[in-house]
Structure 1
């Protein structure tokens, strides 16, 4: 399926969205949060709790802003299968295959819709932290545990962050991609070669998972985890001749249409994402190293079968839980009007403040929000 050009309307929508996202990240989710954190320093233990809540809520509003644009403007549609996430069921780890940069947007929608009160955490590449404002926010709120893909360096950092997470009072969910990178033809070839040399099953739709990070999560977080959710994501159509997904961020930000759409007035401009969730009790996960490795490999063998079945029949073989998982009105309000109101408050505080106060704020921002790598 070939794709048409971007179109002026899509370019305008995408640029306006990115500009307002940067505006909101700076004035609401960074500057305003910084002022609240400075004030909370004088409140002792209670202030620390308030500060953590404010930082988490600011990140949540930005996430909802992105999801609202994806659904209400770009027409994102997520079809959910398998098990539902139940609010209040405790903390859990989400293991997913990785096909696109959009996978995290899809999983965040699924999780924030079903368990909005839990803290969110992502384990990902440190390059994500370089994204202006949004990446820095994820680092400074603790939402992103950044890794370099070098285990000798990542081991100590990952263990440190997981111990902090284990000590939190609130429930949380952690999203991790054991493949370590997005699925592509070149990486598939490397994965198949590794599987052959190590006498592992041949996987054509996912990569052989990396084990050490997953085992570290199990070893350090098992006392806090209630479940593991095995998430399998596949996008409807949009594959090249080698079976690799063509999905990219341009499709959501700039409303890129496909030539196969029957009607020019059709609202859906974004490919449909299908997500299968399998709920696994933490009691079923072995904690001996070899058994845990086999457990993870079995999970990815099952993902391979699910994706192969879907590609053959455009179905996982079970009835969907929902044909389109959508944000609630309250969540849309939080991600748009409420975020913009806070952004305006932050803007007016900065604009009408004296030069000395602006310099003080700038110094404090560097102190509170250093670029960590």
Structure 2
């Protein structure tokens, strides 16, 4: 609700933007400042912990960093849960639901909207591993580092002390009808199965992840995101506009030990999964739900409010410290160093000055006359 709106029936916010259904400038600006300030605070804490704690114990630093990062991510979870009121329903087997958040997992998903990553964060938060969730999104998967650097980075996760999720959007970009039309033309010309609800995959990142993580990651979560017909597609803009929505998420667990060894076979496995995902989305369009499992409503936990409370408390401390520094600076400026007063100069008398000037002029004239007559004989008349 815009803060400018009153409780009187029929009275609207004076901001035209609010009445047109766009973001209220006051709400948007306040939320922007809040998220920016809280992000700076968390980054400062993380940098301090990296310098002080990581040289002493990498695992202890990871635990602290996970805790701090989770408080920052909880702010975005709060926007979905409490600000916009988005409802997320999960369709999966009971055993899979029980294991979520209790094991390392590689997550692959379709990219239906621009908040799919945020939906994943909410599920991770409900599963208890939000602070240790990573995601490779959009076109970044095309610019992966060389094999040795990638292997080193993935192997760093081997001794991670807490369950983590690494999410890959293997389509490489968000689904749109224009992109689907282009993909369908390409698939028809090359002999690939023509997709209806997904795009052509970029499997390089997935192959590398499976190759380097199969020894310590037990499962791959195949995630399918869909929007019911009765609900508008959620976007970041609609979130900030506080427009509610419903998101359906289907999760299927695959054991990593059952994966093929060859890279090309792993790529084909991924393509087959997305062919099945295409069929699953067709069924969702027909039934308006994933009919193979009962939905699990994730609800709105109080924990997402704790992150906001923590950040507000941190902002209050920072604001108080800044106020103290400002007052100290002003105090220094208001008390300048004392300087001993100099003796006042006496005023010269105007008449004395004029007299002195006249006297000087007379002396100069006399001197000039003497110089003129000097050495010249003067004859005076003789008186008889």
Answer whether TM exceeds 0.5 for this pair.
yes
Aligned residues: 307
**Counterpart in 2 of 1:366?**
none
- Cα contact 2:228–2:289 (8 A) shared by 1: no
Instruction: Please point out which of 9, 21, 32 is paired with 1:18.
Output: 32
Mapped contact 1:235–1:273 kept (Cα < 8 A)? yes
Matched, 1:339 2:311: yes
CA contact (8 A) 1:89 1:226 kept: no
Kept after mapping to 2: 8 A contact 1:13/1:254: no
Which 5+ residue runs of structure 2 have no aligned equivalent?
A: 1-17, 327-384
Q: Is the 8 A contact 2:154 2:209 kept in 1?
A: yes
The answer as to 2:139 corresponding to 1:149 is: no
Partner of 1:183: 175
SS in structure 1 at match of 2:295 = coil
> Does structure 1 conserve the Cα–Cα contact (< 8 Å) formed by 2:101 and 2:127?
no
Deviation at 1:60, TM superposition (A): 1.0
For the residues of structure 2 that align with 1:290 and 1:8, how far apart are their CA atoms? 48
Is structure 2 residue 123 aligned with structure 1 residue 110?
yes
Distance 1:317 1:49, change over 3 A: closer
Deviating beyond 6 angstroms after TM superposition, the runs of 4 or more aligned structure 1 residues are none
User: 1:81 touches 1:321 (CA, 8 Å); kept in 2?
Assistant: yes
How far did 1:125 drift? 4.6
Alignment of 1:317 with 2:330, yes or no, is no
The CA distance in 1 between the partners of 2:288 and 2:167, in whole Å, is 26
TM-score, structure 1 normalization: 0.73
Deviation per residue, 1:221-255 (Å, 9 max, x gap): 1111111111000122389xxxxx85421110122
Give the 3 Å change call, closer, same or farther, for CA 211–39 of structure 1 in structure 2: closer
The answer as to 2:239 corresponding to 1:252 is yes
Q: Work out the CA distance in 1 between the residues paired with 2:305 and 2:233.
A: 32
Indicate the residue corresponding to 1:166 in structure 2.
Answer: 158
What's the counterpart of residue 291 of structure 1?
265
Mapped partners of 1:55, 1:34: distance in 2: 10
Are residues 1:98 and 2:111 paired? yes
* CA distance, structure 1, for counterparts of residue 226 and residue 22 of structure 2: 29
With normalisation by structure 2, the TM-score equals: 0.71
> 2: distance between equivalents of 1:31 and 1:278?
38
Structure 1: state its 5+ residue gaps: 127-146, 240-244, 256-268, 355-373
Q: Does 1:32 align with 2:56?
A: no
- The 8 Å contact of residues 109 and 170 in structure 2, kept in 1 or not, is answered as yes
Q: Aligned Cα RMSD in Å?
A: 2.9
Match of 1:140 in 2: none
Q: Find the counterpart in structure 1 of residue 278 from structure 2.
A: 304
